[in-house]
Structure 1
């Protein structure tokens, strides 16, 4: 190889034909650089092609995902609309429920309590809105509606708890308030501050009503209560006394037999004695008294059914 030159020897199949090509080092360097440049350009083009193809595939995949998300968002918004209608129905039922429970219906402002205000995310602060304003607005609106309905459902839940508690209190009050006749029969003597006693033959207060019924007829408790007396009591004869709480006491006198014991809790309609004529009585009947805070009141005011024949 001559100084500063490169010699290429080209040998063919015929040994007699051998060719030599002498190139300067600059030419060789230029050729190598050209080859490297070509490969570099081809490599860059290939990489660019694959990158663009990958981006195209990614964009296509993201477009499909976006379409699926839009469809899912449509379904969610439809569900939200149905939930809103259901909550509207429940709100109306809650108003009726509260009235039955003796409570005032909730104001619309109370139902909407806690919606919005400080701490509530704004649309402009939503990352999705900054990426896609249209979809971001839809998603934000849906999330806001769901949050509003959640708070409304929580308010309704607390309202139902209050109504149930009120109903339980009213139920206890109702079941322990005298409201039925102790026996089915005929009222032979009404409540009176002063009446002529048929046996004593003189004026005397009649602090209850007398209901005539055959001997042995079951006498029923007129409300839930606790037995405070069961036995003989002077002119009352065999008598049962019930304490119903809240100042209510009932007495059932002239029984032929008692069926309960002191301390026993009885329910409305439960047999507690049987009609008789014990004590100061001339014929089988039940003398029925209602006392409120220790004072006799007219039992007729505490009989809501029609199973007695008025005098």
Structure 2
């Protein structure tokens, strides 16, 4: 299943003699390093401004000339927009204290800090030249009596196309249809920004549950109807494949033990959670698969299920 990311910056100065002033608003460029980082950890703990004027490129790893940074967050919010195209989002407002960002700025970025070989290294999820409404480079000025709020919105676009695969199970040809579920949920966007994509045990692909032969898959806006139920049909145990730089994908395998089974000893639909809601309401990001015909599994058998999420920069579809 595929995910696309995009982002947008907004700058607001306030608290000084000139009142509240919107200084600029523009799209960002997500870096190659950022697309690797989201597979293993947080992407946006720090906001940085600078005075460089080189255009943003995919290979950026730092601002050209950093002048100030902050990890102070004023507000968080997550939301869903039906589009088209539909998208979930998290909006985070970073605040530079009064006077901390005084001066002239022409570039911005958000990222993380990590320790490598005993040294603190700044990582960069995204970078942009500050631009005006016409898309031309712009220098903004923050006065010494002002605070600066940098508002960053991270958008996530899901590929809503069904993934259909043919396979053989117990000597019988089967079809598996996989699609995203409950795509109007958005609370998980908070943890995507703070934890990255599938990672860890309690905060990554932590849930797997399944229903019997008469389960109904449902469309991308609704959860499946799991029927019949059974014994211990929610599974938490899983193993994660190690992330490989440049791959932009994570793979996870769940083992459903012999003690978990439905009352009809079939698996008709299985659901997994690539990311859950953390620190915000709005639910989980779920992926569901329907098996046709249903798979046989009773109380004597283990069953393993492997899922994969891939991601990259969002590319708008071509026009007519």
Q: By percentage of residues, which structure has more strand? A: 2
| RCO comparison, higher one (Cα < 8 Å, 6+) | 2
* Structure of larger gyration radius: 1
TM-score interval, normalised by the smaller of the two chains: under 0.3
TM norm structure 1: 0.22
Q: By percentage of residues, which structure has more helix? A: 1
